[in-house]
Structure 1
Amino acid sequence: MNNNWFRRLLLSYLPVFFIVTTILFIIFFQVFNEQNRKEALKANEFLASQVMQYLDNSLRSIDFKVLREILTNPNLKDYFTANGSNDVYAGMLAVEVIDELKIDFPLIDSIYLVRYKDDTVFSNGKAVPIADFPDEPFIEESRLTNAQKWVGGRTYSPFPAPAQTAEQVITLVRSVGSGTGLLVVNVDLHTLQKSIKQMYDPEFTFVNVFNRSGESLWERNPQDRTNAGRASGEVFSEFTSGYSGWKVETGLTNGKIVKFALKFYHIWFAFAVAVVLIGVMWVIYVTRRNYKPIEQIVTLIQTVASQKPSGAGPAKENEFRFIQNTLERMIDQTRQYQEEYEENLLLQKKYFFQELLEGTREFTDGDLKAEMEKYGLPKLDDRWLVLAVEIDRYPQFALDYHEQDQSLLKFVLSSILQESARLEGTEVWAEWMSDRRLYAILWLPGSVLPEEVEHKVLSGYLEKVGQYLNFTVTIGTGRGAADLRGLRSSMKEAARALEYKAVLGLNRMIPYGALPDSKNDVYEFMKTISLLVQAMRLSDEAWEQHFDRLFEQITASLLSRQEMMNTIQLLFQHYKREFAELPREYQELWAALFGNLLNQLEAWETVDDLRLLCWEAFRELAEQMQTLRCARKHRTHILQIRKYVEENYNNPELSLNYLSDIFDINPKYLSKLFKDEVGEKFVDLLISHRIDKAKQLMQETNKSIQEISEEVGYTNYNSFNRAFKNVVGVAPSDYRKAI
């Protein structure tokens, strides 16, 4: 292919590209530097104010704390008024004050107390004469000047040289009492500088602190303090403390270089504009000269694709877009075809796997060999076996993971199985035949025992699944096969082996050849089921013992999952037959429980799961049957009680407590049952009967109202009068007059 067009475009645009990008870079650099300078000024002002504020707050807090201790702490006063240096207790109290100050303020390096009374210095837990103390010149100077302030930048050592290297400190001197002594606090300059350095990056920014004399606190050599830091960069901002009188200077370490570069900002900008204009004109010229080949390409594409342009204008204005769209369509069609081909290939491979194991299609040797080569599978010319991998607790697995995550985890399970087989020098072909079950064909090399290969591959597989995943699997394996018929039998055996995980447990390998012999004693099951159903029908608590006995028999019999389900179905049939002879309410209870339990029986995996499901359902059934029997019994009592009230309404002692003693029912429970069954309260029913009888006596006899009152059960006439008026609406005397 002739690349002349490519070289022409490359040589035409590269010079312009280099020039334009270079100028843009320079412009960006200048603009960036100018912006950085403005931001640097603001940042340095803020940094200087923060440093000054930090210094003032730190020193002021120490000063305030020291002053408060001097004025208010009795232990400190006791030390300065103690009689001589032998007062050990006063010294101990003074140590507590010093330690408390050091704990409250980590910046404090050392504290010592000067007592004029006996000219001693208390430092590091002991008292020494002032003359023997290394800081004696400073003490004498402070004593003469009576200074109470921060002293910036000096050398201090609590022990005579060379016992300890002298340190650079700043010192606070405070007079105690009326000339009784001094309290001297030394702040380590190194620690203070270290705290301040956390506020900025020393590679780009410097911070200098100067005392009242203009000396730098950071430099050890006094001759270099005046110009410390200034030679390294330009000072951008400075602040002077109103508290200590110290000055803080901040700036950039390369400020002079930036300042020099910014002077040429306008020259660079004008030069960049001129070069850009020249580059634009050059691009226009070259584009016009090289336009013709583009037009030829567009014409060729239109001819090959049999497309007719809608007009000459759009085709000339959008040549590159036209070429791009054409290429994109071609790429999309190719990609779509490739994806469809790969997807169809995967589906065909899975379908071939099903045909191979389920026996829905017969294969000749030639057909089988061709299909295996088509999908890149090993030849079936050795021995093989089928294994079935089932995800344990699949309903919980579906709840814990999103659908996409489930697909990914299933792919991981398949990949781990293939990797485990390769590590043992063999191959495996695995396909997901259902949501929870993966079937696989494992090749067995002829030189190794099948059981040995099977154990190594699957034990390593279970170990990796347990190590990398948050769930487990159970594997059922069939026996080895040497032909297609044996392979299909091996699949059925693997599925059969998984049926026994209900009794053998989860997260394990279950070979078909090692399955236990089931001891399905139908007679014993029938006997236990009959006793269980009879006890449940009679609400006998012994049903729980029969229930436990039934599941002990199921577990001891080593039944498969299907056999367990057959046993449970037999139990359900007995229940249905027994409940058919009970009243309708009991049949409805069983129907509701059976429908709910039947839906849940699809999800159990082990015999313990099955036992728990049935136990909860049967316990609920027993409780509801007991409640129903109690309700029916109490309903009979209520009818008897109502009849008793109607016959003995004239008894003055008739009440809920009276009835509860007769019928042996709790008064409160009796009141509730009465309201639920009769529809009205006991008191209302009693009053209604008494008033009806009183009205009848008024109409049919000439007895006095007092006599009628006593005859219907009221010993107090006022109570009868009030009750009659509340029910009838008029007094008894007015009622008799009206009839």
Structure 2
Amino acid sequence: MNNNWFRRLLLSYLPVFFIVTTILFIIFFQLFNEQNRKEALKANEFLASQVMQYLDNSLRSIDFKVLREILTNPDLKNYYTAAGSDDVYAGIQVLEVIDELKINFPLIDSIYLVRYKDNIVFSNGKAVPIEEFPDASFIEESRSNPTRKWVDFRNFKALPLQSAQQVVTLVRGMEGGTGLMVVNVDLQTLRKSIMQMYAPEYTFVNVISSSGGNLWDEHLPESGGAKPASGEVFSTFTSSYSGWKVETGINNGKVVKFALQFYNIWFAFAIAVVLIGVIWVVYVTRRNYKPIQQIVTLIQTVASQKQPGTSSAKENEFRFIQNTLERMIDQTKQYQEKYEENLILQKKYFFQELLEGTRPFTDGELQAEMTKFKLPELDCRWMVMVVEIDRYPQFAVDYHQHDQTLLKFVLSTVLQESAQQEEADVWAEWISERRLYAILWLSETALSEQVERKVLSGYLEKVGQYLNFTVTIGTGGVATDLRGLRASLKEASHALDYKAALGMNRVISCGEVPDSKNDVYEFLKTISLLVQAMRLSDETWEKHFERLFDQISASVLSRQEMMNTVQLLFQHYNREFAELPREYQELWSASFGRLLRGLEDWEVLDDLRLLCWETFRELAEQMQAMRCSKKHRTHILEIRKYVEENYNNPELSLNYLSDLFDINPKYLSKLFKDEIGEKFVDLLISHRIERAKQLMLETDRAIQEISEEVGYTNYNSFNRAFKNVVGVAPSDYRKAI
């Protein structure tokens, strides 16, 4: 292809470039405008639903709270049954109820109470006759229509000289038709709350009442009539609770609508441009077909076969060229990926063969494998280390499988970086889930041990600094041949078994592993004393338990040796509890099951100690409770009879009964709950209050005397207990009967 052909091709397709670019710009802006409209519709629909939900929730909450106060508040009921308007105490109590409603619901502007029996309105802490109250006409209208609940917006003023405020009103009748409770919600406050949900400069919200009035119109007409929206209405919601309708839209909706009218013109123009471009491309392609044909012929000659699905290169030359190149690229990429995957697996397999000794290597074979995987040349000093993730079960719970793989890769990478900082080489592979095995190359210099310590200490420091978990490292001895390398692996794994005794987040060298002092006779002696004390519910079992684990700690045992000791302890428990009654055997069986499940996850001796301690302590408490239950359950009916006969004794209490019947107070309380079905205090109060009600019904004695007779030396305590049980004060109860 010469320069003349290049210039001709460039000039041929340059107009097409401008045409296609123009079309793309038109389509982009058209789609952009259409997408904006759709998003605006969705946003307005969501806004309308949120406004409606807020209005319904606010009005429902106020209505529910008011209705609940009417039905349950004794102070409110007392006000409507009071003797007259001069009952100051009843007014103070009901004023507290009103203030609490205003505090809990900031939307409430005012509340006033209407009492029919004396035609009094209680508003702002004052009682005035209905005819003197500015809202008298509304009261009479509500009195004649008792089914009203929420009244659409209206003008309200609590005082004659006060300016009127726009409110919506909740009217609730009192029980028995004794009056009304009128709650006014400030429309301006409600509007400000809703305006925080949107930007008024871009969006408008209209709330239309059931009578057709616009709640947002600051000059409400007397006959209603909605204020026209400031733009096109995009979404409308109607409340099934209040009957109000919410309308939302964009302020400049007319401008958007006008702009969208050009859609058909833009579309027709784009079609025309596309047709012109197609004609131009066909014309230019016919003139420049020969050079392309030469390229296709060359590719067909080189390629072994054509792409499946194409009948001839003449029908779709560019597709033929593209598919041929893509097939070649894909084949190359797949081959490269498979080669790298196989290389990784082969390297890991070679690592296992090297450490486990499953394959014999000659010097030549070993050198060839090391060169293949780009590993350092073999020197005469190697060392194996094993890195174990501490608290691996918790690690598996805290992190997803993908995150676990990533963190394990980080552990391997950090180890390599730590070795590189000390100019050493390391080869690490994850052979098991929780353990990273590594080979560290050591030089012949006398400073090799110093390099080893720096690598491992630097590795632990970085892990503790950058990761949220720790690792423990076991190291083997220095090896000079393959047999020594495999022995170093065994030494490193053996050293790591002593993590249970020596602790986590450290390096355990095979040379630091102490000789175990496993004195089986001393263990058996302590275990025997522990099990015997537990069987007899003797509290000295705790001392023997601590002594046993102190012996295990002092002996510096490996994990397996600790497990053997614990298994010996379990065997003694099984033998001793086999001689006890069935219920005790079941207790031990349940505890033993929990122990077996917990033994799968412990890592250090303190974990094992805590697991056994909690299980044995719970077992001891259950055995003690079972023994006490058998001993004292027969006395519970006698104790109940004593309470029923001596309920008027002011000193009667759990401590009094425990001293009298020689039973622990806490256990006595549990017996009352389990056997009688109620607490001791509830039983005692029930008898005293029933007797007090009987005395008030049958006698004219003073309430103070009745209080003392039923066992209350303090009248306030009697008054509080009576009100909690009966629901009203003793004096009110006597008036009612």
Please provide the CA RMSD for this pair. Answer: 6.5
The answer as to 2:385 corresponding to 1:387 is: yes
Contact 1:169 1:186 in 2 (8 A): yes
For residues 147 and 153 of structure 1, the distance between their equivalents in structure 2, rounded to whole angstroms, comes to 14
The aligned counterpart of 2:340 is 342
Structure 2 residue aligned with 1:292, among 290, 298, 301? Answer: 290
Change (3 A) 1:139 1:442: farther
The aligned counterpart of 1:192 is 190
Contact 2:517 2:556 in 1 (8 A): yes
Specify the SS of the correspondent of 1:449: helix
The aligned counterpart of 2:134 is 140
For residues 499 and 121 of structure 1, the distance between their equivalents in structure 2, rounded to whole angstroms, comes to 90
The aligned counterpart of 1:439 is 438
The aligned counterpart of 1:609 is 563
Specify the SS of the correspondent of 1:314: coil
Structure 1 residue aligned with 2:301, among 300, 303, 306? Answer: 303
Change (3 A) 1:253 1:138: farther
Structure 2 residue aligned with 1:505, among 476, 496, 500? Answer: 500
AA partner of residue 95 (structure 1): L
AA partner of residue 563 (structure 2): D
Contact 2:19 2:273 in 1 (8 A): no
For residues 291 and 267 of structure 2, the distance between their equivalents in structure 1, rounded to whole angstroms, comes to 37
For residues 159 and 617 of structure 1, the distance between their equivalents in structure 2, rounded to whole angstroms, comes to 92
The aligned counterpart of 1:109 is 109
What is the CA-CA distance between 1:187 and the residue it aligns to? 0.3
The answer as to 2:32 corresponding to 1:18 is: no
The aligned counterpart of 2:254 is 256
The aligned counterpart of 2:634 is none
The aligned counterpart of 1:673 is none
Gaps of 5+ in 1: 131-135, 529-550, 561-604, 625-739
For residues 385 and 348 of structure 2, the distance between their equivalents in structure 1, rounded to whole angstroms, comes to 16
For residues 432 and 65 of structure 2, the distance between their equivalents in structure 1, rounded to whole angstroms, comes to 77
For residues 32 and 396 of structure 2, the distance between their equivalents in structure 1, rounded to whole angstroms, comes to 57
What is the CA-CA distance between 1:323 and the residue it aligns to? 1.7
Change (3 A) 1:512 1:454: farther
**1:155-170 aligned within 5 A:** 169-170=167-168
Change (3 A) 1:227 1:269: farther
The aligned counterpart of 1:449 is 450
The aligned counterpart of 1:578 is none
The aligned counterpart of 2:328 is 330
**1:168-183 aligned within 5 A:** 169-171=167-169
For residues 132 and 111 of structure 2, the distance between their equivalents in structure 1, rounded to whole angstroms, comes to 14
What is the CA-CA distance between 1:456 and the residue it aligns to? 0.9
**1:323-722 aligned within 5 A:** 323-343=321-341, 345-346=343-344, 360-362=361-363, 385-389=383-387, 411-422=409-420, 426-432=424-430, 438-441=437-440, 443=442, 446=447, 449-450=450-451, 452-453=453-454, 455-457=456-458, 459-460=460-461, 463=464, 467-468=468-469, 474-479=473-478, 484-485=480-481, 489=484, 492-502=487-497, 505=500, 507=504, 509-517=507-515, 606-610=560-564
For residues 244 and 406 of structure 1, the distance between their equivalents in structure 2, rounded to whole angstroms, comes to 55
Contact 2:424 2:440 in 1 (8 A): no
Contact 2:134 2:158 in 1 (8 A): no
Specify the SS of the correspondent of 1:510: strand
For residues 393 and 118 of structure 2, the distance between their equivalents in structure 1, rounded to whole angstroms, comes to 88
What is the CA-CA distance between 1:612 and the residue it aligns to? 5.7
Contact 2:107 2:186 in 1 (8 A): yes
AA partner of residue 608 (structure 1): M
Contact 2:80 2:178 in 1 (8 A): yes
For residues 496 and 453 of structure 1, the distance between their equivalents in structure 2, rounded to whole angstroms, comes to 20
What is the CA-CA distance between 1:610 and the residue it aligns to? 4.4
For residues 71 and 389 of structure 2, the distance between their equivalents in structure 1, rounded to whole angstroms, comes to 77
AA partner of residue 488 (structure 2): E
Contact 2:204 2:229 in 1 (8 A): no
The answer as to 2:319 corresponding to 1:321 is: yes
Contact 2:419 2:455 in 1 (8 A): no
What is the CA-CA distance between 1:609 and the residue it aligns to? 3.3
For residues 174 and 432 of structure 1, the distance between their equivalents in structure 2, rounded to whole angstroms, comes to 74
The aligned counterpart of 1:94 is 94
What is the CA-CA distance between 1:57 and the residue it aligns to? 9.5
Deviations 1:508-539 (A, max 9, x none): 53212223346799xx99xx9xxxxxxxxxxx
Change (3 A) 1:241 1:493: closer
Larger radius of gyration: 1
For residues 255 and 173 of structure 1, the distance between their equivalents in structure 2, rounded to whole angstroms, comes to 39
What is the CA-CA distance between 1:261 and the residue it aligns to? 2.6
For residues 306 and 63 of structure 2, the distance between their equivalents in structure 1, rounded to whole angstroms, comes to 92
For residues 54 and 340 of structure 1, the distance between their equivalents in structure 2, rounded to whole angstroms, comes to 60
AA partner of residue 108 (structure 1): I
Matched-pair identity in %: 54
Change (3 A) 1:51 1:305: closer
Change (3 A) 1:60 1:12: closer
Deviations 1:13-66 (A, max 9, x none): 4223223324434664686689889x789959x959x97898699769978997
The aligned counterpart of 2:277 is 279
Contact 1:430 1:438 in 2 (8 A): yes
Contact 1:211 1:247 in 2 (8 A): yes
Change (3 A) 1:60 1:41: same
Contact 1:387 1:491 in 2 (8 A): no
Deviations 1:530-554 (A, max 9, x none): xxxxxxxxxxxxxxxxxxxxx9999
For residues 397 and 177 of structure 1, the distance between their equivalents in structure 2, rounded to whole angstroms, comes to 62
What is the CA-CA distance between 1:453 and the residue it aligns to? 1.7
The aligned counterpart of 1:234 is 232
AA partner of residue 258 (structure 1): V
Contact 1:387 1:478 in 2 (8 A): no
The aligned counterpart of 2:616 is none
For residues 55 and 552 of structure 1, the distance between their equivalents in structure 2, rounded to whole angstroms, comes to 68
Change (3 A) 1:419 1:609: farther
Deviations 1:262-289 (A, max 9, x none): 4444434433333332233233333333
For residues 36 and 273 of structure 1, the distance between their equivalents in structure 2, rounded to whole angstroms, comes to 27
For residues 248 and 520 of structure 1, the distance between their equivalents in structure 2, rounded to whole angstroms, comes to 82
What is the CA-CA distance between 1:157 and the residue it aligns to? 8.7
For residues 59 and 394 of structure 2, the distance between their equivalents in structure 1, rounded to whole angstroms, comes to 63
Specify the SS of the correspondent of 1:317: coil
What is the CA-CA distance between 1:331 and the residue it aligns to? 1.5
Deviations 1:623-659 (A, max 9, x none): 99xxxxxxxxxxxxxxxxxxxxxxxxxxxxxxxxxxx
Specify the SS of the correspondent of 2:313: helix
For residues 390 and 210 of structure 2, the distance between their equivalents in structure 1, rounded to whole angstroms, comes to 80
Residue range with higher mean Cα deviation, 85-94 or 138-147: 138-147
Specify the SS of the correspondent of 1:316: coil
What is the CA-CA distance between 1:251 and the residue it aligns to? 3.8
The count of aligned residue pairs is: 532
Gaps of 5+ in 2: 143-147, 525-548, 579-737
Change (3 A) 1:286 1:619: farther
For residues 329 and 405 of structure 2, the distance between their equivalents in structure 1, rounded to whole angstroms, comes to 29
For residues 160 and 452 of structure 2, the distance between their equivalents in structure 1, rounded to whole angstroms, comes to 82
What is the CA-CA distance between 1:93 and the residue it aligns to? 4.0
